[in-house]
Structure 1
Amino acid sequence: MTAAIIAPSRLRHRARLGVRIGLAALAVSAFGAFGTPAQARGPEGIADVAEKVIDAVVNISTSQTVEAKGGGSNTMPQLPPGSPFEEFFDDFFKNRRGPGGPGGGKGGDNGPPRKTNSLGSGFIIDTSGVVVTNNHVIADADEINVILNDGTKIKAELVGVDKKTDLAVLKFKPTKPLVAVKFGDSDKLRLGDWVVAIGNPFSLGGTVTAGIVSAKNRDISSGPYDSYIQTDAAINRGNSGGPLFNLDGDVIGVNTLIISPSGGSIGIGFAVPSKTVMGVVDQLRQFGELRRGWLGVRIQSVTDEIAESLNIKPPRGALVAGVDDKGPAKPAGIEPGDVVVKFDGKDVKDPKDLSRVVADTAVGKEVDVIIIRKGQEETKKVTLGRLQDPDKVQAAVKTDEPAPEKPVTQKALGLDLAVLNKDLRTRYKIKDSVKGVVVTNVDANSDAAEKRLSAGDVIVEVAQEVVSSGADIQKRVDQLKKDGKKSVLLLVSNADGELRFVALSVQ
């Protein structure tokens, strides 16, 4: 069974009492099948932490009006994929379908709009009624309610969300004094430290689980600023948005994702660290949105081959593949081919480091950016702009139409190369602003094919020198071979003018 990354929330509540009894009976076997191995007894302080903070942890109840499909109220509840519950509910609802069954109508007919309910978790950070949770817990909700530990249900309003870190801030008017929790320092966490998770797993109500910090700074490719705390504390569906505490009772993370083949905890859960959460929450409370710093560059990793080509030892930093003409980096003198190794006094080990530190830096702040250019360090002063987030994804332009054969001007590095002319621009839909040598074919067994070069790519520079013909490229490659270089660094553009660096073997 394939494991999946799941946001552990939004277990639907639509089953009747009889179904719930069946669910309870099946839950015993389900937890037996998918539960984590028994852990050693934890520190006695866990009970003290739970007693101290439990009243600050809330359930988040949302409702949404959706278009009914396939028989209105007969719709089956959402359940963990592959769980034993699925077969039970499938049989239950299958027996009720049909023209004469509850809900009526034919199997494929759409019924009237209906409301669906879901539950997640959250926690109070201010006694005035400010709550932190996950964005995916409240996304698309028509109505949001906060349910306190004593069962009090109060309508809440949305203050702001940040989709990139999956965080949201809510506000409600308290009817009595509240308990609030404070943030701790997630940077001080060590591997093996005990942590406590409190939330609403499987919509059972407030539940406490404990475990240890399994890893820090996890990048699971769920967003541009991934830096999760990994824990084996049991986190299940409904825990999304709930707090992860240290043994001082401070929030050091927000439980957000799990990896699981079943939808239940297998001991691999992820929390957004408090260092990230605090910055996001402060901005959402102040502005209702995120105002992130913007450098105005496109970056990529410095591979061993690229590092060898640029004479950078050891490989490190973020390679600038492109500079926005209207961005802050342009007037500061940052150019494609520069490698950023330090930003505002902070070391940059890889592109993710640079993305995070730039995003966390105040808009309008002047910072020192240390780059490596042609083997030498230089310092550039940059005044950060503001990152605009239109939430649009632009796809590269490609054509599936077979192109007529054209004479090949030159062969080099496993590539067929030609001078970029009007016909080739039309064939590959290459913008007029793109200059260089166009690739018309790639040897399937070459290093170029492995590095995903393809017909229609345009080679702009070779070893940081502009080229305009296949002969120029071959000349540069021959010289690098004589100099004993193992690889050559190409600056490659796609049809839209987006640049990237590619290192190819010259051996």
Structure 2
Amino acid sequence: MKKFIGLLMVSVLGGLFTLGIYKAFFEKSPLIVEHKDNTPNFVTASYHPSPLAAAEATDFTEAAEKTIHAVVHVTNKITSRGPMSLQDLFFGNARERTQVGTGSGVIISPDGYIVTNNHVIDGASELSITLNNNKTYTAELIGSDPSTDIALIKVDTEDKLPYLAFGDSNNARVGEWVLAVGNPFNLTSTVTAGIISAKSRDLSGSNSQSFIQTDAAVNPGNSGGALVNTNGDLIGINTAITSRTGTYIGYAFAVPSNIAKKVVEDLLEYGNVQKGLLGVSILPKNAPYAVEKGLNDIEGLYIAGVEEESGAEKAGIREGDVIKSVDNIKVTKFADLTGYLNSKRPGDIIKVAIDREGDMKTIPVTLSKINTYTLNELGMQIKNISDKDRKKFGIKGGVKITRTAPYLNNANLEGRILVGINSKKIQNVEDAKQIASEINPNERNVMIILNENGEAERYLF
């Protein structure tokens, strides 16, 4: 026992001795570092420090409540004759086929006027609308305008209907929150949200359109529905999507409310759309001449020509002027200009700001009436001749050829004067329309056209 205790004491003393040597010669003293927090005290860049303020700024509930009951489901029934079988032919029967198309519409007055897209109601033999409360009414077509894809229909009801008033689409801003309300996939009114991605979008390539582009989800059935801002103001009529699949992939387009409102007012007052003409042609910025002369970098629209007796010519606008704005609305592409003009009619006065060789001018221009007409039978566009033409050619009447179909391009007829068809004199556009409608395409017909020197030439067609 004594021997065990002795060995234990020797072991303990040996361990202490070894630990002491390690501490003294091998273990390094700990490095003590004083840490100071030098991180800058950043402040978030926000006008609304409250976490609830951001949610309030994008609250769509009020706009949705104002809109959802004013948007209707539109049903379009088209009855057409199907192919006849031998039995149908023998018994004198003709099979009829009924197709049903659907879309949306926006009630714009308490007495039942509804705006929708022309393609929603095109060819309809029967129209009906269904409210958000599932009440259904038969609708009547008041009028339509294929060029803007806007149509006006009406229902008769003793009840006052919920409606939306047109807002000012010129005030819509890129990046602004918007709601798209419609009836996609035959559902009841559906609300989707997004922002305005761009303005003055042209999908035709002819600079004749001016859509509001949005990333709010729009699908089949949304056509004719409402595009509203967060105040519930109607700023557009949903019209089209860009898609390879037929469903929404991120791009949707709406007719601006100012254009839709003007079309509706014209249909009610005149029965057709009145279009105001400025009377200028614009040089495309990607044209070789524009690139060569450095005109592709200018801010604005370079005027390549001014139409005779147009509002622009009478106001003193010249070739070479650069349009900077119209009624204080900046224009950088042709769709900006055409989009604004589509909201105007003949007789309206607009203020055109131009840059003339570095000198800024603002010129009031009275828009004139578009006096051109397309004669499909002849493959050409015509207009009434001007006083200048009458003096130049020594004539009292006739129509000027302003454009021809591609198959007539080699004839170089543009700018010439059409004075007769088949021995019948043409004094104006109305004469040309009437005579052209009487042409028999199976017979030989003769056009009398004056060339640049005033000489009469005969063209067979």
Higher relative contact order (CA 8 A, sep 6+): 1
Using the alignment, how far apart are the partners of 2:115 and 2:413 within structure 1? 46
> Which one of the candidate residues 233, 236, 239 is aligned to 2:222?
239
Contact 1:366 1:381 in 2 (8 A): yes
Deviates more, 1:210-219 or 1:290-299: 210-219
Using the alignment, how far apart are the partners of 1:44 and 1:342 within structure 2? 32
Q: Which position in structure 2 is the counterpart of 1:180? A: 163
Using the alignment, how far apart are the partners of 1:201 and 1:432 within structure 2? 47
Q: Which position in structure 1 is the counterpart of 2:334? A: 351
Q: Gaps spanning 5+ residues in structure 2: where? A: 1-54, 381-402, 417-450, 453-461
Deviation at 1:125, TM superposition (A): 1.4
Using the alignment, how far apart are the partners of 1:329 and 1:116 within structure 2? 48
Contact 1:164 1:224 in 2 (8 A): no
SS of residue paired to 1:262: coil
Q: Which position in structure 1 is the counterpart of 2:282? A: 299
Q: Which position in structure 1 is the counterpart of 2:153? A: 170
> Which one of the candidate residues 78, 86, 109 is aligned to 1:64?
78
Q: Which position in structure 2 is the counterpart of 1:135? A: 118
TM-score, normalised with respect to structure 1? 0.56
Describe the shift of the 1:149–1:392 C-alpha distance in structure 2 as closer, same or farther (beyond 3 A). Answer: farther
SS of residue paired to 2:260: helix
Using the alignment, how far apart are the partners of 2:234 and 2:111 within structure 1? 18
Contact 2:175 2:195 in 1 (8 A): yes
Give deviations 1:74-119, integer Å, cap 9, x for gaps.
xxxxxxxxxxxxxxxxxxxxxxxxx9xxxx99xxxx9623222211
Deviation at 1:66, TM superposition (A): 1.3
Specify the code of the residue in structure 1 equivalent to 2:64. A
Q: Which position in structure 1 is the counterpart of 2:411? A: 429
Q: Is 1:55 aligned with 2:69?
A: yes
Using the alignment, how far apart are the partners of 1:371 and 1:310 within structure 2? 19
Give deviations 1:113-148, integer Å, cap 9, x for gaps.
322221110111111111111111111212221222
Using the alignment, how far apart are the partners of 1:381 and 1:193 within structure 2? 32
Q: Which position in structure 2 is the counterpart of 1:201? A: 184
Using the alignment, how far apart are the partners of 2:161 and 2:320 within structure 1? 55
Q: Superposition RMSD on alpha carbons, in Å?
A: 3.9
Contact 1:302 1:317 in 2 (8 A): no
Q: Is 1:386 aligned with 2:369?
A: yes
Q: How does 1:432-451 map to 2 (within 5 A)?
A: none
SS of residue paired to 1:284: helix
Using the alignment, how far apart are the partners of 1:432 and 1:162 within structure 2? 28
TM-score, normalised with respect to structure 2? 0.61
Deviation at 1:359, TM superposition (A): 3.6
Deviation at 1:334, TM superposition (A): 4.4
Using the alignment, how far apart are the partners of 2:58 and 2:341 within structure 1? 41
Describe the shift of the 1:69–1:156 C-alpha distance in structure 2 as closer, same or farther (beyond 3 A). Answer: same
Give deviations 1:235-290, integer Å, cap 9, x for gaps.
11111001122232222221111111211122221122223333333333333322
Describe the shift of the 1:433–1:169 C-alpha distance in structure 2 as closer, same or farther (beyond 3 A). Answer: closer
Q: Which position in structure 1 is the counterpart of 2:422? A: none
Give deviations 1:150-182, integer Å, cap 9, x for gaps.
222212222222222211121211142321122
| Percent identity of equivalent pairs | 38
SS of residue paired to 1:66: strand
Describe the shift of the 1:231–1:430 C-alpha distance in structure 2 as closer, same or farther (beyond 3 A). Answer: closer
Larger Rg: 2
Deviation at 1:365, TM superposition (A): 3.8
Q: How does 1:402-421 map to 2 (within 5 A)?
A: none
Describe the shift of the 1:377–1:313 C-alpha distance in structure 2 as closer, same or farther (beyond 3 A). Answer: farther
Deviation at 1:70, TM superposition (A): 8.4
Contact 2:116 2:225 in 1 (8 A): yes
